Structure 1
Amino acid sequence: MKSIIRNTYILTIALMAVLASGCKKDMLTVEPPDKIRADLVWQDGALAQAFVTDIYNGLSVGGFSEQMLSSVSDESLFTHPNRGIDLVNASTINPSTLGWVDDTWAYAKMYNRIRACNMTIERLSGSDNGLTDQNLKDQLLGEAHFLRAYFYHQLLRYYGGVPLITKVYGLNDDFRIKRSTYKECTDFIVKDCEDAQRLFVGKTMDKGRGSIIAALALKSRVLLYAASDLHTKSKISTLEIASAQGFAEALPLLAYDDNNQTQRWQAAKDAAKAVMDLGTGYKLDLSAPVSAAAGRLNYKSLAMGGGSKAPGMDAAAASELILGRYFIDRSDMRFGRANGPNGYRNWAGNTPIGLLVDDYEMNDGTKFSWSNPAQKQNPYENRDPRFYATILYDGAGWKPRDKVVGGVDPANQIQTGEYDLMIDGKLTTYKGLDTRSGPIESWNGSWTGYYTQKFTDPDPNIVEASNPQFIPWPFFRYTEAVMNYIEASIELDQLGEATSWLNKIRFRAGMPAVTATDKEGLKEVYRHERRIEMVYEEQRYHDARRWMIGKTTLGRKTTYIKVSGKFKPGKTMLNLYRYDPTIYDYTYTPTTETAQENRVWLDKIYFRPFSRDEVNKNTFLVQNPGY
């Protein structure tokens, strides 16, 4: 009560002072202490820069959301129910029930950020602003063009052609606007990238912000998508949705005419080469494979983006990042917590599925097969080195578990199976610590029998679920541009060039040179390589769609692994389990499961639906076919 009286007293004295100074008409015309007038923002460099910096929040945490895009692809399974991912994978989403929608591509949220970009471009391009620092003005304009291009590219690759809005609407404006064609949207984004590139010339940009090479990387991706089969009239017309009501009307919104696909592939190749010429990448100058151990460290270093202090991590891998989302001091950036093993008190969010694990080659470049008896008996031996930097499997070494849950696992190994164990002199079937039947947070256990370690800092000092990590999210990295260049080269029958660069990527990972020599064989190798190299980087979902292979990839039933360890004759282990093939005979059983989610592919899922609310607000908005 005393504090209330004191504050009231002070306020009364302040009002009396105002009255004593004389009655003025504008005595109550004061600036709100927590607000800044819009016109003042564009007259002050610091305020204008703060406004543009805030637009970057539209990038959110990149792909580090708790629910990841990998789980609507054949990379991972989302462990927790009732989040809407299962609706996407079952092809049951519709304009009334959208299923999972992430903030980084949500329709309304993208347009809110586009509006901020438009406002920046309007205010800084006009002559009525008071910003006199031309260098800063050009930088901010460049960032606004780049960010607008990025947000439109997000909309384009999920929805197809969308309304192109380049002005700031007033309250009395007509908000109805038609969708632009796929070509018009692509051209618009490319122009924004080129405008950004021009405005960035001579500017030294902080990491995490737009730049010349980031604008070129975005242009490269957009032109690669534009050249792809999903956006070519004759190819998309072979899909089941071609018979859906409204397909003919929607076709220009989704695809180009047929007669210029080769031209588009050439444009994609040229755009990718521009990125390659400007950047350096990481260890892409090799003429022979590095060792398996070096390949694993190279790949893990790439995933860390220079943000880990763990032994063996190479900070030089940061040169690979073209645009990253950096976490300087973000307490909720705990990728390991969201996705790590439940036996370390983590949440097992997006766990690798068997379809992904099985696609990792043997380290001699041959395919892995469960039909091969030797490989089935030891499925995790002699695999692509990137496998060991990406997947946590039964028996894999991991971090010191005693820092989290005490001395229950002196060997510090992942336990996703069930094993014979002598406990108090009795033979027991022991459920592993990292299973859904284990003694530690069983509800957070993996359904698939695997966990991911990519993007998880291997530093053994970062163990507890409460520890944040500072690994950047790679919006664009140099290897993506190289991959784009390889794909376009293959499509243009320039196979030698494609093979040379494919080998450079594989050599860095400790894998042998490719052996395919014909176009179709090389295309298959390339698609495999892109899948493995860029796993969990929000590439596979879009790649499978633009290649029009959704039914045979994204639509496959998920596969799990069941692991069993039985004592060898005359062998036992007491009380505490550890992986030991001298004591146990291990059995690995791939299993197709539909209990957690039943994946069904319908071709309408190649494009997201517009929500019913958006269609009601904008009656010119043509719905995508199949919805």
Structure 2
Amino acid sequence: MKIKSIFIITIGVLFITACTDLNLNPLSEGSSESWYSSETEIDMALNDIYREVFWPVDYTEWTDDWTYREGTTPITSATINGEWGTVLEWWRNSYKCISRANTVLANLDKVSDILPQARLDAFEGDARFVRAAQYSKLISHWGDVIYFTNVLGLEESFTLSKTDKATILQDIYSDFDAAAEKLPVSYGSSANKRATKGAALAMKARIALYMEDWSVARDAAQACMELGTYELYADFGELFLSKTKNTKESIFSIPRSVELDQFFGDTKNYITRNSGGWAAKDPSWDLLCSFLCTDGLPIDESPLFDPHEPFKNRDPRCSETIVEFQTPHLGYIYQPHPDSLNVLNLKTGSYQKNNDTRSNALYASFNGLVWKKGIDEDWSDDFKAENEIMILRFADVLLMYAEAKIELNEIDDSVLDAINQVRARAYQVDYTNLSAYPAVTTTDQTELRKILRAERRMEFAFEGTRYMDIIRWRIAENVLNKDTYGMLDVDDLREKVVNPGLWFFPSTPDIDEDGAADFTPMYNAGMIKRLAQRDFDATKQYLWPIPTKEILINSNLEQNPGY
């Protein structure tokens, strides 16, 4: 494993044509021998480990919230192995980042005589936060992993074996605690986007929650809440747009900038076809059915749900996450109905060919749904998006606190308040006005657990939390062994669904205890089309495989079971 990392930043290149001493280290270039000797150099090294490449979020496409035409992924087809590119990339980049954080920590003594203690503390806090976050990612996905906190030599790195994740977890806590002690509560109006005290506490709560260490998760989340620094942004739909930056809800995020060549480039897969995109990567019917009705009940229990108008009487986050039919989106009225051959262009005020229906465009959304959450109209200008990468926000802290207390069976008003604050924000009402939204009032542990899980799914869809939720709740073997479905081909759709008046859903699917919808009756009746067969192998897939090449070059490194 090539863990040894020498951080080299080239400031300039000295071209010399005359004879010169090749042993000299050019003064215009940084090296591992001379670097880390000034505040600027350490600052640059820390900036490097906050780059986007080191902070990936779990992809929605690994979950039951997503469809990609008739395709699956290595996770949703149970073909994940040690040669999968994501496994290789995440493992490599995590250890690269850890090595760089370790190197910063090992070199702080070089500047201890020239920098004030407050600056040294901030540097240490940053490095320990990053190291803890990277190890959190490793143990949550791989379990027991290689662990080191020193600067390794190349040969030594090839001989390390796994350390038990429980041992690593305690050191992760120590790093987050030290970071919380040394980092500032905020950077004020500064453009600095590094970690803060709240970020360290929140990330500690997250990994504790993942490891079912409920008391630690509760206390860390509560400490973050008590800082008084964060609050929910008033408008849920606006929160995720590229124009909305540096809100008080954001605890830790990675900024993007087209100007600095840091942007999300896969926009066409999410933009509608009328707006110049492909609408290929879409929300699943499973996700659409997971949003509660405005009475707080799931669709198979609520008298308010009409399968033929699936967006009506739903939690507001439903139509803020998925584009509601016959509503404006990206300058057009969105309507996938097979008889809507023309559509209103809101920019011109005239009708034009509707490429968002499969009657006109064969590869329009296969299930009629497209994403709305975070999708900006300015994406269509150059197909480059600079929305912040939201790693962790205050709504998550509130729900982590509530979940930890529920699992500890410490159910009190603070639990209900935490959930209700998140839910009431969606309805844009004060959470104390219990009659203005479907407030949570039960104190039954089993009921609250179900409510909390539904709340997380509605709140965090398309943000990268669903994958680890279904893994840690051990429900992936249920929800990922259900197939994905979409609309029939156009002629059959008209004959079997539209003409009998059964558009959009022919009937209401049942929702099971895990919040998963059952579409098989509609499929067996020939009313919908199966797009793909999902598969999840519970005997091994709750952990990822270690990259095969790491096993091959390190005889002390044992592969995870089943791979």
Smaller-chain TM-score bracket: 0.7 to 0.9
One-letter amino acid of the counterpart of residue 221, structure 1: R
Equivalent residue number for residue 354 of structure 1: 285
Residue 76 of structure 2 is aligned to residue 76 of structure 1: no
Equivalent residue number for residue 506 of structure 1: 423
2:199 to 198, 204, 214: 214
CA distance in 2, matches of 1:138, 1:298: 36
Equivalent residue number for residue 451 of structure 1: 370
Residue 154 of structure 2 is aligned to residue 171 of structure 1: yes
2:463 to 537, 556, 563: 537
CA distance in 1, matches of 2:341, 2:105: 68
Aligned length: 504
SS at match of 1:209: coil
Superposition RMSD on alpha carbons, in Å? 3.5
**CA apart distance, 1:302:** 2.6
**CA apart distance, 1:605:** 0.9
8 Å Cα contact 1:141/1:196 also seen in 2? yes
**CA apart distance, 1:417:** 3.1
**CA apart distance, 1:61:** 6.6
SS at match of 1:556: coil
Which of the pair has more CA radius of gyration? 1
SS at match of 1:551: helix
**CA apart distance, 1:394:** 3.4
Equivalent residue number for residue 472 of structure 1: 388
Structure number having the greater helix percentage: 1
**CA apart distance, 1:555:** 2.7
Equivalent residue number for residue 272 of structure 1: 221
Equivalent residue number for residue 397 of structure 1: 328
Residue 99 of structure 2 is aligned to residue 109 of structure 1: no
One-letter amino acid of the counterpart of residue 194, structure 2: R
Equivalent residue number for residue 93 of structure 1: 80
8 Å Cα contact 2:322/2:370 also seen in 1? yes
**CA apart distance, 1:202:** 7.7
CA distance in 2, matches of 1:414, 1:617: 53
8 Å Cα contact 1:42/1:129 also seen in 2? no
Counterparts in 2 of 1:349-388, with a 5 A limit? 349-369=280-300, 375-388=306-319
CA distance in 2, matches of 1:588, 1:74: 20
CA distance in 1, matches of 2:541, 2:105: 35
Structure 1 segments of 4+ aligned residues over 6 angstroms from their partners = 370-374, 563-566
CA distance in 2, matches of 1:127, 1:214: 27
Equivalent residue number for residue 434 of structure 1: 356
2:254 to 325, 334, 352: 325
Equivalent residue number for residue 300 of structure 1: 237
CA distance in 1, matches of 2:74, 2:295: 39
- Once the two structures are superposed, what CA deviation does each residue of 1:500-557 show, in whole Å capped at 9, x if it has no partner? 2212211111141125441111111111001111111211110111111112223321
Percent identical across equivalent pairs? 25
| Residues 420 and 154 of structure 1, relative CA distance in 2, 3 Å threshold | closer
SS at match of 2:476: coil
SS at match of 2:440: coil
- Once the two structures are superposed, what CA deviation does each residue of 1:252-281 show, in whole Å capped at 9, x if it has no partner? xxxxxxxxxxxx322221111011111444
| Residues 520 and 600 of structure 1, relative CA distance in 2, 3 Å threshold | same
Counterparts in 2 of 1:138-157, with a 5 A limit? 138-157=121-140
Equivalent residue number for residue 413 of structure 1: 333
TM-score normalized by the length of structure 1: 0.72
| Residues 61 and 174 of structure 1, relative CA distance in 2, 3 Å threshold | closer
Gaps of at least 5 residues in structure 2 are 1-13, 344-351, 428-436, 507-521
Equivalent residue number for residue 231 of structure 1: none
Residue 493 of structure 2 is aligned to residue 493 of structure 1: no
One-letter amino acid of the counterpart of residue 175, structure 1: F
Residue 547 of structure 2 is aligned to residue 611 of structure 1: yes
One-letter amino acid of the counterpart of residue 37, structure 1: S
8 Å Cα contact 2:256/2:388 also seen in 1? yes
CA distance in 2, matches of 1:474, 1:555: 29
CA distance in 2, matches of 1:91, 1:594: 22
CA distance in 2, matches of 1:612, 1:377: 49
8 Å Cα contact 1:449/1:560 also seen in 2? yes
CA distance in 1, matches of 2:28, 2:65: 46
SS at match of 2:541: helix
**CA apart distance, 1:622:** 2.3
SS at match of 1:89: coil
8 Å Cα contact 2:51/2:254 also seen in 1? no
SS at match of 1:136: helix
Equivalent residue number for residue 6 of structure 2: none
| Residues 585 and 595 of structure 1, relative CA distance in 2, 3 Å threshold | closer
8 Å Cα contact 2:180/2:197 also seen in 1? yes
SS at match of 2:486: strand
**CA apart distance, 1:602:** 1.3
SS at match of 1:195: helix
SS at match of 1:355: helix
**CA apart distance, 1:185:** 1.5
Equivalent residue number for residue 346 of structure 2: none
8 Å Cα contact 1:281/1:320 also seen in 2? yes
| Residues 551 and 422 of structure 1, relative CA distance in 2, 3 Å threshold | closer
CA distance in 2, matches of 1:447, 1:112: 40
CA distance in 2, matches of 1:541, 1:78: 16
8 Å Cα contact 1:279/1:478 also seen in 2? no
**CA apart distance, 1:172:** 3.8
- Once the two structures are superposed, what CA deviation does each residue of 1:546-583 show, in whole Å capped at 9, x if it has no partner? 111112223321132459899x9xxxxxxxxxxxx9x9
One-letter amino acid of the counterpart of residue 45, structure 2: F
Equivalent residue number for residue 535 of structure 2: 600
